[in-house]
């Protein structure tokens, strides 16, 4: 058996080794903790400010340029849509589904002599009555809003007329055709 002094010496060596190990472990834990704090600080910093290095300024500039280009293109698209809607409304040709607002149908009443001054007034001479309509909408909700406004203006008998390729149909048939065409285009 070992003597008490030998056992004490052995334990003392182990204690010294453990202290050195603990010091190294504590040192590396402090280093890792410092690196963690630095990384976390940098991540928080770059949320509010551009990073110190890398391609960030270049990418940020490209992003800003793309945003400006996207806004310009969106304005151009909106402008083209407005022009297209105007051209569709003014076009004498019908293709696809349209909704118009009929404001009257008369047997012995002819506004043909005013047609040039009434660019937006459509006159349908088919049938016994001359039918007068305003607007040419692809969107039924927009046509409903328009007929509501026309009625508020005093033309209480105004109603929506649906057409597919220029032929008069029911609103329900036009909605079904628009849905079918929408599915075919998607």
Q: Is the pLDDT at 186 greater than 60, yes or no?
A: no
Q: CA 161 to CA 75: how far, in whole Å?
A: 32
78 and 1 part of one domain: no
The dihedral region occupied by 154, where left means phi > 0, alpha psi between -120 and 50, and beta the remainder, is: left
**pLDDT tens string 95-153:** 788 888 888 887 777 776 776 666 677 777 777 888 888 888 888 998 999 999 989 99
124 and 165 part of one domain: yes
Q: CA 28 to CA 21: how far, in whole Å?
A: 11
Q: Let me know: does 171 contact 162? Beta carbons within 8 Å.
A: yes
Counting the structural domains of the chain, the total is: 3
153 and 99 part of one domain: yes
106 and 144 part of one domain: yes
This model's pTM is above 0.75: no
Q: CA 159 to CA 151: how far, in whole Å?
A: 9
130 and 172 part of one domain: yes
CATH number of residue 130's parent domain: 3.30.70
**pLDDT tens string 64-107:** 999 999 999 999 998 988 887 777 666 666 678 888 888 888 77
101 and 179 part of one domain: yes
Domain containing 28 equals 1-49
Cα–Cα distances in angstroms (integers) from residue 106 to residues 111, 127, 129, 169, in the given order: 10, 11, 5, 20
Q: Is the pLDDT at 174 greater than 50, yes or no?
A: yes
Give the closest residue to 132 by CA, choosing from 98, 107, 152, 165.
Answer: 107
98 and 181 part of one domain: yes
């Amino acid at each position: 058996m070992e003597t008490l002094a030998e056992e004490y010496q052995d334990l003392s060596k182990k204690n010294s080794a453990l202290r050195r190990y603990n010091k190294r472990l504590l040192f590396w834990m402090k280093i890792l903790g410092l690196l963690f704090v630095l990384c976390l600080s940098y991540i928080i910093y770059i949320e509010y400010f551009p990073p110190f290095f890398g391609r960030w300024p270049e990418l940020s500039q490209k992003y800003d340029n793309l945003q400006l280009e996207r806004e310009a293109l969106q304005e151009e698209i909106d402008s083209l849509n407005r022009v297209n809607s105007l051209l569709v409304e003014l076009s004498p040709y019908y293709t696809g589904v349209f909704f118009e607002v009929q404001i009257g149908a008369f047997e012995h009443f002819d506004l043909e002599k005013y047609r040039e001054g009434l660019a937006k007034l459509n006159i349908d001479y088919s049938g016994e009555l001359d039918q007068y309509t305003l607007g040419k909408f692809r969107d039924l909700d927009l046509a409903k809003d328009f007929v509501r406004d026309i009625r508020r203006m005093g033309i209480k008998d105004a109603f929506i007329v649906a057409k597919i390729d220029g032929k008069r149909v029911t609103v329900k048939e036009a909605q079904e055709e628009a849905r079918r065409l929408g599915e075919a285009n998607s």
